[in-house]
Amino acid sequence: MLQGMSFKKIVIKIGTRVLTQKGNSLDAAQIKNLVNQISAIVERGTQVVMVSSGAIGSGMGLLKLKQRPKALSELQACAAVGQPHLMQAYDDLFKANSILTAQVLLTQEDLTDRKRYLNAKATLLALLSDRVVPVVNENDTVSTDEIRFGDNDKLSSLVANLIEADLLILLSNVDGLYKYDASKKGRELVSIVDKISGEIESMARKGKDELGTGGMVSKLQAVKIAADSGIPCIIANGKKADVLIDIMECKKTGTLFLPSSDKMAAKKRWLCFGAKSKGSIKVDDGAKEALTKRHKSLLSSGIIGASGDFKKNDIVSVVGADNKEFARGIVNYSSHDIDKIKGLKTAQITKTIGHKQKDEVIHKDNLVITEK
Ligand code: GLU
């Protein structure tokens, strides 16, 4: 299915188990193999951002720990010890292939704030155009999202989104997504998934494969973010000798997840997946229909209420009468103001709160429908 696609920008996420021996020291031969494959891909003209785990695993080895610590602060300490070591390994190996690397440590909050998101994007794109391979990891000292759950899975899909990648590759120590075939009394690798259905999600829950903190369930969540923003995704076994080259040459490898939508505009993708909402606005059925079916802006008249404490320009969820989010947007009024203008006509806004910045509470250009 990837036949005929040329890849300009790709994100390759490498999980802890791929990079380490028994999870607690770096596997030098394995890292060399991956670096050589990525170097060959870069040589062919594709820009690559790596999202690499392995800092905790590497730190455990250096601190001579056999068991993964339980306390979060100790895991963070391991990451702080391991990250420079991991980076050094990449840097030395890429340098031997005349390629420079750059360390980029990110937190989800960096991608939540629009200004920081745009800065991170500009930096990554500048690095790529200088033919540098950015190596991204979660900034584990200050953020623990991916240590707790994910092993950088979500981070990698947010990065793919950020740079508008053509492909996201998630390398782990399993061949891909398996389904149980009752007739053959065995499991079978799924080669293509065109939609992440309930059936696919339950397959992921059954697979007891994995890995640090990122099992198949967290991988599927990452795949969903990518697929919903128009980016195809592959889960494949990073321990296979030529796995990345095979993928780039469109040989059947791992499980390919097709995008569920065309590429969304960058701002809408950020609204949808990168940003965290600060509160919610509840609207009536008429407003919901105007937003979802007629692509209108949200006006005060359709608003039933607001919850949370948000300011002008914050990101909020828009929920229907059932309290389920169906859209997200950048709001032009604070929760305090919305409380006063809910249900009113636009013409009554100034009289009620003493000012009117905009007619729309959320302008349609700053609104994205999240309900499928
Ligand atoms: N950022 C972490 C690391 O590099 C993620 C992996 C994990 O939780 O084990 O080690």
Q: How many angstroms is it from 177 CA to the middle of ligand 1?
A: 22
Q: Pick the atom of ligand 1 nearest to 68's CA.
A: 9
Q: Indicate if 285 and 259 belong to the same structural domain.
A: no
- For residue 203, the model assigns a pLDDT of 78
* Tens-digit pLDDT profile for residues 190-242: 888 888 888 888 877 765 543 345 588 889 999 999 988 889 899 999 999 99
Q: For the domain that residue 362 is a member of, what is the CATH number? A: 2.30.130.10
4 occurs within a structural domain: no
* Tens-digit pLDDT profile for residues 328-337: 998 999 999 9
- For residue 273, the model assigns a pLDDT of 65
Beta bridge partners of 192: 256
230 occurs within a structural domain: yes
* Tens-digit pLDDT profile for residues 25-65: 899 999 999 999 999 999 999 999 999 999 999 999 999 99
* Tens-digit pLDDT profile for residues 84-128: 999 999 999 999 999 999 999 998 888 888 889 999 999 999 999
Q: Indicate if 89 and 177 belong to the same structural domain.
A: yes
260 occurs within a structural domain: yes
AA letter at 188: E
Q: How many angstroms is it from 146 CA to the middle of ligand 1?
A: 7
Number of domains in the chain: 2
Contact 19, 53 (CB under 8 A): yes
**275: closest CA among 197, 370, 360?**
370
Q: Indicate if 332 and 236 belong to the same structural domain.
A: no
Q: Indicate if 95 and 181 belong to the same structural domain.
A: yes
Q: How many angstroms is it from 280 CA to the middle of ligand 1?
A: 32
> Any residues with CB less than 8 A from the CB of 322 and at least 6 apart, and which?
none
C-alpha span between 291 and 314 (Å, rounded): 19
Please name the residue whose Cα sits nearest to atom 5 of ligand 1. 151
Domain stop point among 216, 248, 268: 268
342 occurs within a structural domain: yes
3-state secondary structure of 189: strand
Q: Is 213 in the pocket of ligand 1 (CB under 6 A)?
A: yes
Q: Indicate if 251 and 327 belong to the same structural domain.
A: no
176 phi and psi angles, rounded to 5 deg: 155, -155
- For residue 185, the model assigns a pLDDT of 72
337 occurs within a structural domain: yes
Q: Give the pair of three-digit tokens for residue 259.
A: 């995008």
Domain stop point among 243, 268, 293: 268
Q: How many angstroms is it from 148 CA to the middle of ligand 1?
A: 9
Q: Indicate if 82 and 208 belong to the same structural domain.
A: yes
* Tens-digit pLDDT profile for residues 133-167: 999 999 999 988 878 777 899 999 999 999 999 99
**Ligand 1 mutation target, pool 50, 143, 155, 213, most atoms within 8 A of CB:** 213
2 occurs within a structural domain: no
Quick one: pLDDT band at residue 1, thresholds 50, 70, 90? very low
Q: Give the distance from CA 186 to its chain's centroid.
A: 32
Q: For the domain that residue 171 is a member of, what is the CATH number? A: 3.40.1160.10
Provide the residue range defining the domain that includes 70.
9-268
Q: Indicate if 55 and 91 belong to the same structural domain.
A: yes
Q: Is 138 in the pocket of ligand 1 (CB under 6 A)?
A: yes
DSSP secondary structure, 250-316, as one string: T---SEEE--SSSPPPHHHHIIIIIPPPSEEEEE-HHHHHHHHTS-PPB-GGGEEEEES---TT-EE
Domain stop point among 228, 251, 268: 268
Q: How many angstroms is it from 263 CA to the middle of ligand 1?
A: 29
Q: Indicate if 198 and 285 belong to the same structural domain.
A: no
In this prediction the pTM is: 0.77
Q: Indicate if 210 and 230 belong to the same structural domain.
A: yes
Q: What is the 3-state secondary structure of 52-93?
A: ECCHHHHHHHHCCCCCCCCCHHHHHHHHHHHHHHHHHHHHHH
Q: Is 54 in the pocket of ligand 1 (CB under 6 A)?
A: yes
Q: Is 53 in the pocket of ligand 1 (CB under 6 A)?
A: yes
Q: Indicate if 19 and 136 belong to the same structural domain.
A: yes
Q: Indicate if 309 and 249 belong to the same structural domain.
A: no
3 occurs within a structural domain: no
Q: Is 212 in the pocket of ligand 1 (CB under 6 A)?
A: yes
277 phi and psi angles, rounded to 5 deg: -85, 145
1 occurs within a structural domain: no
Q: Indicate if 288 and 251 belong to the same structural domain.
A: no
